[in-house]
Structures are given as structure tokens and as C-alpha cells.
């Protein structure tokens, strides 16, 4: 199977933007993990960001926070999600990116976590509460298992820091498009062009835009600034409502 970076580059080479949906694993129960991933990959998404429910999701807005509460109430955690992924590993054809906070990883044990990632087809990892300065430990343990460590760049990062984050990031650079938490936004700052131009210039790997992107029009406009987009809250809401048309429309906008 291809790496995370290759999967994005292949889509770009075909003249399209990468589309990476975020799901809250086990929103609806652990048994929904498999059908949800298979549904999304059948729609032709580039990769899937698999969020692990957590009691203290500091970066998350109400939509994802509530999805996390539903998943936690259903008994979903890092361990049973990774075991679930491993159970249908042969059917997974897109790179999976696990999004979790550091505490569950530490409790799992770094080496054991890396092994479970490999067994579950995980190709990337986002841990928003591990800053760049502390991220080497993740790369050292996870890279030998084929897991890329994705770094986030915020709108407020100074140019010198943007360059360091871009150089350290693996798979892609996660460019956060707003100041604040996850969730649908009606509008974005109007100087994003400059920020993204600078970031794409500084980065040797693909740059994906995420946070607040919730409509097909926003997929188009944000996608134009970068190599693709990540859509979280809008996907989480559509999955919760069983609204597959909205998901299809969002994916189609990246083509
Ligand atoms: O929900 P939004 O606004 O579409 O944003 C993407 C986001 O949900 C997903 O990438 C994500 C969910 N939780 C996070 C925590 C940190 C960074 C990223 C995330």
C-alpha cells in the first residue's frame, strides 16, 4: 500500500485536490468503524483521519466534542479502535491517520501503540498536544512501523517556525485555517492566500487545509490554496444523520 504522502501526490498528479474526511471513531458504537471507513473509501477519499474519543479534547468544538461523548458512552477507546481496524485490515485501501491526544498513547505504551498502528493499516498520526519540540520521540518510535507524524501549523506561527514545522512534518503539513477550535465556519480571514503561499513555498511535502471547512464551495476555495482539504465536523454531522448525499457532494468538490 502507498504511503500517506504518495496517496496525496497521486491525487494531485491527476489534477485533483486531496480530500481527507475526519471521523470520530465509534460515534454510533464500535461496530460503525468498519462500515464507515469502507463507505468513505468507496467514495474515493484520499485518506481518512480517524479520531479517537477523549475526555478532554482541547482543540475540539461542540460537534466533535459531542460525537466524542457519544463514542465514549459506547465504550470506545484507543485500544478497541486499533483492534477493530486490525480485524478488517485487508479491506482497507486508503491510508488511515489516527488523531488522538498524547495521554492515551502514553497509557498504551509507545512501542505497543506503534505495533498496533501497523497491524491496523495506520499510516499517519496527529497528536495536537505534542508540540514540535517534543515530537522527535513520536517519529523515533512510529517511523519504523511506517507511520508518519503530521505536524500542525497555525495561522499565528511566525515564518521561521513555519519553516521548522514544515521541515519536521511527515505525510503532509496540516495547515489550520482559523484561530480557535474545530467546527463549521461561515467565513475565513481574507489574508489566507499569503499565509498559504508562504507555507507551500516552505514545504517539500503536501500541505492540507483544515478547520472550519464545511461546504462544497469552501472545499473548492480552500483546496485552491493548498494540496487538498480536511473536513471534520461537517462529515461527523452527516454521518450522524445518515446523510450520505452531503458527503458525496463534499468529496465531489475536490475533483
Ligand atoms: O471539524 P473541522 O472544523 O472540519 O476541522 C477538522 C478537524 O475536525 C479534524 O482534523 C480534527 C478533529 N480534532 C482535531 C484536533 C486537532 C487537530 C485536528 C482535529
Task: Provide the β-strand partners of residue 207.
Answer: 173
What CATH topology corresponds to 4-252? TIM Barrel (3.20.20)
Q: Which atom of ligand 1 is nearest to the CA of 214?
A: 4
The pLDDT value recorded for residue 190 is 83
**Residue 183 beta carbon below 6 angstroms from any ligand 1 atom:** yes
The pLDDT value recorded for residue 184 is 87
**Residue 21 beta carbon below 6 angstroms from any ligand 1 atom:** no
Task: Provide the β-strand partners of residue 124.
Answer: 97, 148
pLDDT at 1 over 60: no
Tens digits of residue pLDDT in 212-237: 999 999 999 999 999 999 999 999 99
In 3D space, the residue among 40, 39, 20, 36 whose CA is nearest the CA of residue 28 turns out to be 36
The pLDDT value recorded for residue 165 is 96
**Residue 60 beta carbon below 6 angstroms from any ligand 1 atom:** yes
Domain boundary assignment for the chain: 4-252
Top pLDDT among 250 and 183 is at: 250
- ipTM > 0.95 (yes/no): yes
The pLDDT value recorded for residue 59 is 87
Nearest CA to ligand 1 atom 13: 60
pLDDT at 86 over 60: yes
**Residue 153 beta carbon below 6 angstroms from any ligand 1 atom:** no
Task: Using the mean position of ligand 1's atoms as its centre, give its distance from the Cα of residue 173 in Å.
Answer: 14
Tens digits of residue pLDDT in 63-81: 999 999 999 999 999 999 9
User: Given the DSSP bridges, would you call strands 48-51 and 173-176 parallel, antiparallel or unpaired?
Assistant: unpaired
pTM recorded for the entire structure: 0.97
Q: Which atom of ligand 1 is nearest to the CA of 212?
A: 3
Q: Which residues are catalytic?
A: 49, 60
Please provide the DSSP assignment of 142-194 as one string: HGGGT-EE-EEE-TT--HHHHHHHHHH--S-EEEE-SSS-SS--S---TTHHH
Q: Over the chain, what is the mean pLDDT?
A: 96
Amino acid at each position: 500500500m502507498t504511503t500517506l504522502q504518495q496517496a496525496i501526490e497521486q491525487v494531485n498528479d491527476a489534477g485533483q485536490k486531496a480530500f481527507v474526511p475526519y471521523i470520530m471513531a465509534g460515534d454510533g458504537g464500535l461496530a460503525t468503524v468498519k462500515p464507515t471507513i469502507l463507505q468513505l473509501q468507496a467514495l474515493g477519499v484520499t485518506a481518512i483521519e480517524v479520531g479517537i474519543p477523549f475526555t478532554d479534547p482541547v482543540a475540539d468544538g461542540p460537534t466533535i466534542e459531542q460525537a466524542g461523548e457519544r463514542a465514549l458512552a459506547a465504550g470506545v477507546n484507543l485500544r478497541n479502535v486499533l483492534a477493530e481496524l486490525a480485524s478488517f485490515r485487508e479491506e482497507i485501501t486508503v491510508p488511515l491517520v489516527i488523531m488522538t491526544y498524547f495521554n492515551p498513547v502514553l497509557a498504551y505504551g509507545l512501542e505497543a501503540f506503534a505495533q498496533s498502528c501497523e497491524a491496523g493499516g495506520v499510516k499517519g498520526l496527529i497528536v495536537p498536544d505534542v508540540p514540535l519540540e517534543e515530537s522527535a520521540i513520536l517519529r523515533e518510535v512510529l517511523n519504523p512501523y511506517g507511520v508518519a507524524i503530521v505536524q500542525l501549523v497555525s495561522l499565528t506561527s511566525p515564518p521561521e517556525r513555519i519553516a521548522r514545522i514544515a521541515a519536521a512534518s511527515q505525510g503532509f503539513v496540516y495547515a489550520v485555517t482559523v484561530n480557535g477550535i474545530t467546527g463549521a465556519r461561515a467565513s475565513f480571514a481574507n489574508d489566507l492566500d499569503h499565509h498559504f503561499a508562504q507555507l507551500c513555498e516552505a514545504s517539500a511535502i503536501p500541505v492540507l487545509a483544515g478547520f472550519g471547512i464545511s461546504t462544497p464551495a469552501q472545499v473548492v476555495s480552500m483546496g485552491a490554496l493548498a494540496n487538498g482539504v480536511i473536513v471534520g465536523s461537517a462529515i461527523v454531522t452527516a454521518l450522524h444523520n445518515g446523510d450520505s448525499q452531503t458527503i458525496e457532494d463534499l468529496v465531489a468538490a475536490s475533483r
